Amino acid sequence: MIPLSSIPLKTESWQQQLGNAYCHIRELLADLALSEHYSPEMELAAEAFHFQVPRYFAALMKKGDIHDPLLLQVLPRAAELQHRTGFTLDPLGDQDAHEGNGILHKYHARVLLITTGACAINCRYCFRRHFPYASHQARKSQWQPALQHLRQDSAIHEVILSGGDPLSLGNTRLQFLVEALEKIPHIQRLRIHTRLPVVLPSRIDQPLVEILGNTTLATSMVMHANHPRELTAEMRQALYPLRRAGITLLNQSVLLKGVNNSAPTQVRLCESLYSMGILPYYLHQLDQVQGAAHFAVDDQAALDLHKSMERQLPGYLLPRLVRETAGARSKQTLLRSQNQ
Ligand SMILES: *Cc1c(COP(=O)(O)O)cnc(C)c1O
Ligand code: SF4
């Protein structure tokens, strides 16, 4: 484990903790006693997509283990530099679905609002690692046109705050957005897709709980935990007030080779999530984004793994195994081919 001196003091605000995140690969490797694994290709990979890891999350990694499943999610590797056929810059066609002002409208009755490009952590497999946030996010100045767009389309019933990570916005901005959304009569549901409760639980502060607890919108938060070791006592404690405030807590994870592609790990993940009041929602097949091919698990292996989970878990703890497909009107459930 990481020396105590590098664990953030409890008194640091979440903003300070974000500012103190690891942004040098050498420093993280040194703190994990893994310096001998450093290579210049790691820096090249980080040029394409920055390296950033909150110290809280790094402290959960096992010292001396280059195969640690938490480390593998964030460590830039030479493999990212290899191009693989089928792995592209915009695998989900997000740029085609972009309606302007940060709104992605692909699915019936619900829209994604890209509120910020900032994330607390940079996950190497991220499907948005090449997303041109600069031109596609709703910066604060564009929120009015984005809200205007939402007001004008009464077929929209749910707004999903996405990013980047919407919880990297401050509470004042979030409050402004939530209050503006609840004034739009046809919008009934608010959803927040975020990895912050997992990688920096201190982000769930009292003002945030109040904003989400007080809104008249039916509110859910979809976190993103991939491995049972990401679920800590701190996270449990941070989420408790949200549960009490009536927020629905869900999780989506990404199936990642070397990280969580085993049935025992997935079963433990689902059971631990539920012990914190979180329901497993989706298990995603990796989006085929350039630089992430080394994480891919083939469909047959994914289906076998899911079958094994199905045998071991109650139905309500079994996430749906899905893939996102460019242009499709919903996520696609993975199915066995007919002859199997
Ligand atoms: C995943 C996603 C949603 C939400 O889909 P649900 O099935 O409702 O969780 C909405 N819009 C886009 C573009 C998405 O990728
Ligand atoms: S937190 Fe989510 S959006 Fe941000 S890098 Fe990780 S997977 Fe991508």
Reduce the secondary structure of 211-273 to three states and give it as a string: HHHHCCCEEEEEECCCCHHHCCHHHHHHHHHHHHCCCEEEEEEECCCCCCCCHHHHHHHHHHH
pTM over 0.75: yes
- pLDDT surpasses 60 at 7: no
- Kindly report whether the peptide bond that precedes residue 277 is cis, defined as omega within 30 degrees of 0: no
Average pLDDT of the segment spanning 127-149: 79
Cα 287 to averaged position of ligand 2 atoms, centre (Å): 12
CATH topology classification for 94-329: TIM Barrel (3.20.20)
Tell me the percentage of the chain whose pLDDT exceeds 70. 94
C-alpha dihedral, 37 to 5 to 170 to 252, nearest 10°? 50
User: Going by CA atoms, what residue is nearest to atom 9 of ligand 1?
Assistant: 331
Report pLDDT for 135. Answer: 66
Cα 338 to averaged position of ligand 2 atoms, centre (Å): 35
Q: How do strand 320-323 and strand 279-284 relate by DSSP bridges?
A: parallel
Please, are residues 250 and 278 in contact by the beta-carbon 8 Å criterion? yes
Instruction: Tell me the three state secondary structure of residue 79.
Output: helix
Cα 115 to averaged position of ligand 1 atoms, centre (Å): 15
* pLDDT tens digits along 58-75: 999 999 999 999 999 999
Cα 218 to averaged position of ligand 1 atoms, centre (Å): 17
Select the more confidently predicted residue: 97 or 317: 317
**pLDDT-based confidence at residue 130 (cuts at 50, 70, 90):** confident
Strand partners, 103: 113
- pLDDT surpasses 60 at 5: no
Residues 309, 298: Cα–Cα separation, whole Å: 17
Average pLDDT of the segment spanning 307-333: 95
User: Going by CA atoms, what residue is nearest to atom 3 of ligand 2?
Assistant: 164
> Cα–chain-centroid distance for residue 36?
30
195 lines ligand 2 (CB under 6 A): yes
Query: 272 is written with which tokens?
Result: 């631990």
**CA-closest candidate to residue 94, choices 138, 127, 56:** 127
324 Cα nearest atom in ligand 1: 15
* pLDDT tens digits along 179-229: 999 999 999 999 999 999 999 999 999 999 999 999 999 999 999 999 999
Report pLDDT for 142. Answer: 77
List the domain boundaries for the chain. 15-81, 94-329
